[in-house]
Amino acid sequence: MSSKEPNFAAVEAEAARLAAVRRYDILDTPPDGSFDRITALAANLFNVPISIISLVDTDRVWFKSHHGLEGVQQIGKEPGLCASAIVQDQVWVLENAATDVRSLANPLVAGDFGLRFYAGVPLTTADGFNLGTLCVIDRQPRPVTEEQIQQLRHLASVVMDQMELRLAARKAVSELSGALETARMLGQEIDHRVMNSLQLVSSMLQLQARQVEGSHAAEQLQVAAMRMTSVARVHQHIFRNQSAGSVNAKGYIENLIAELQGTLNADMPILVNVRPASLAADLLVPLGLVLNELVINATKHGGGQITVSFEELSPGMHRLAVANSGKRLSPDFNPASTSGLGMKVVVALARQLGGMLQFGTQKDGAGARFWVDFPGSKDIVH
């Protein structure tokens, strides 16, 4: 083979080595005290002014740590002795570079830098790739003992341990992020399927109600269908907003009221005054059911103009209120002792939200008003 022809085996080996360098994602990262302590220790053990942790890139030798060599982050690959050191698995030692035939023409030796002593140990991965070196440098020639070389090998192993720890940490974070994303997508899929199932049940209840239209059973079936719709709307809202943690209650309440408006035979449009507020997603089901029951109750027993409001009273404390301008409550009204199921459900759900159902007349003394004050981020009470 001609000397001008590329050595494909060497090219493939270098490509694999560079891939290993990139795997550690350490090039051009900020200084790190862990590596700086290693180079300081190496310089002290050899009693030399300079110690470097280097990584050999495509066309440069980049310094992760450079004790005693201020202001230099990298050098070109060609003059770098580290580039020569990584092509072998042994320690690369030049006791007097000015007389060693391997380094006579090297610019670092022949030039102004005046390098005379160099000892470098390859930084070798578990799968056998030499990423760079831990080296010590002096401008004076000096002998080196086998004990010093062994110490340099140990320090190079510590460098690789640090790099492996950082790689393992990045992989763990990446895997955790992937697991969280998988859980998020799974949660969305569950919400989507639950939403579809609840909507199917709601449709079936409405169909059954039409078959017994005009009876008490039809009324109860219609109420049950609206309860199902309310819960289904929660899952739909979470699915569309792609959030299983916290959601904006404004859009959910407005959508639910629009759905109820189309189902109930209210005397006039329901007025909605809802301010944006972030709530824990697990509060939406009891909140929606409370709203559903109160609006149905206002339509059935109160009449007149129905108004729904939702606001944040103080940081973390919210109020849901439903009022009507029609009939007032009787003086002895007690929601816990009513004959119907709806008010009893509201009382229980209000407690589940961490609040309590309150009631009275509107500010002008007309009609009736029900409200629940509750914390928007507190865990729901089971």
Residue-wise pLDDT tens digits, 291-317: 888 888 888 777 788 999 999 888 889
Residue at a domain's end among 129, 144, 159: 144
For residue 381, pLDDT beyond 50 = no
Find the CATH number of the domain harbouring 119.
Answer: 3.30.450.40
Q: Does 1 score more than 50 pLDDT?
A: no
Q: What is the CATH number of the domain that holds 315?
A: 3.30.565.10
Average pLDDT of span 26-37: 90
> Quick one: pLDDT band at residue 366, thresholds 50, 70, 90?
confident
pTM of the model: 0.49
Domain end: 109, 144, 179, which one?
A: 144
- Residue 265: pLDDT band (50, 70, 90) is low
Give me the mean pLDDT over the 265-277 stretch: 82
**26 vs 106: CA distance, rounded Å:** 27
Lowest-pLDDT range of 22-36, 58-72, 163-177:
163-177
- What is the Cα 45 distance to its own chain's centre? 44
Q: Is 157 helix (H, G, I), strand (E, B) or coil?
A: helix
pLDDT of residue 66: 92
Whether 195 maps to a domain, the answer reads: no
Share of the chain above pLDDT 90, in %: 25
253 and 134 share one domain: no
Eight-state DSSP code of residue 145:
-
* Pair 138, 12 in one domain: yes
377 DSSP assignment = S
Q: Which pLDDT value is given to residue 281?
A: 75
> How many independent structural domains does the chain possess?
2
Q: What are phi and psi of 18, to 5 degrees?
A: -65, -35
Answer yes or no: is pLDDT of 380 > 70: no
354 in a structural domain = yes
Query: What confidence tens digit (pLDDT) does each residue in 231-254 have?
Result: 555 555 554 554 556 777 888 888
* Backbone angles phi and psi of 336, in degrees to 5: -75, -15
Q: What confidence score (pLDDT) does residue 138 get?
A: 93
The more confident residue out of 286 and 231 is: 286
Q: Contact, 369 vs 360, CB < 8 A?
A: yes
Q: Is the domain of 248 the same as that of 382?
A: yes
Can you list the alpha helix ranges (DSSP code H) found in the chain? 8-23, 33-46, 81-85, 107-110, 146-211, 216-241, 249-263, 284-297, 342-352
Question: Any idea which residue has 């003394």 for tokens?
Answer: 365
Indicate the pairing of strand 306-314 with strand 271-274. parallel
* Candidate from 17-26, 142-151, 176-185 with smallest mean pLDDT: 176-185
Query: For residue 249, is it within any domain?
Result: yes
In a domain, 67, yes or no: yes
pLDDT-derived band at 332, boundaries 50, 70, 90: confident
- At residue 382, does pLDDT exceed 50? no
Residues 132 and 250 in one domain: no
pLDDT of 111 > 60? The answer is yes
- How sure is the predictor about 48, in pLDDT bands with cuts at 50, 70 and 90? very high
Q: Does a structural domain hold residue 364?
A: yes
200 has a pLDDT exceeding 70: no
Per-residue confidence (pLDDT) for residue 260, from 0 to 100: 77
324, with CB counted inside 10 A (0-12, 13-18, 19+), is buried
Q: Which of 65-79, 130-144, 167-181, 185-199 has the lowest mean pLDDT?
A: 185-199
Last residue of a domain, one of 128, 144, 160: 144
Given this model, what pLDDT does residue 38 score? 93
| Angle of helix 249-263 versus helix 216-241 axis, rounded to 10 | 150
Q: Are residues 249 and 382 in the same domain?
A: yes
Contact 247, 237 (CB under 8 A): yes
135/249 same-domain check? no
Confidence at residue 22, expressed as pLDDT on a 0 to 100 scale: 92
The more confidently predicted of residues 78 and 137 is: 137
Higher pLDDT, 134 or 103: 134
| pLDDT at 113 (0 to 100) | 83
Residues spanned by the domain of 59: 8-144
Order the strands of the 50-56 sheet from edge to edge. 74-76, 60-67, 50-56, 130-138, 117-124, 92-94
Q: Are residues 138 and 251 in the same domain?
A: no
Domain presence at residue 214: no
pLDDT of the residue at 269: 84
Q: Taking the CA atoms of 226, 230, 235 and 237 in sequence, report the sign of the dihedral they define.
A: positive
d(Cα 82, Cα 130) in Å, to the nearest integer? 11
Residue 202 lies inside a defined structural domain of this protein: no
Answer whether residue 153 is part of any domain: no
Res. 268: pLDDT tops 60: yes
- What confidence tier does 40 reach under pLDDT thresholds 50, 70, 90? very high
CA gap 233, 239 in Å, rounded: 10
Q: How far is the C-alpha of 373 from the C-alpha of 276, rounded, in Å? A: 16
Rounded CA-CA distance 100/232 in Å is: 81
Mean pLDDT taken over the chain? 79
Work out the number of other CB atoms within 10 angstroms of the CB of residue 219: 14
Same domain, 134 and 254: no
- pLDDT attached to residue 43: 93
Average pLDDT for 218-223: 56
Q: Mean pLDDT throughout 19-30?
A: 91
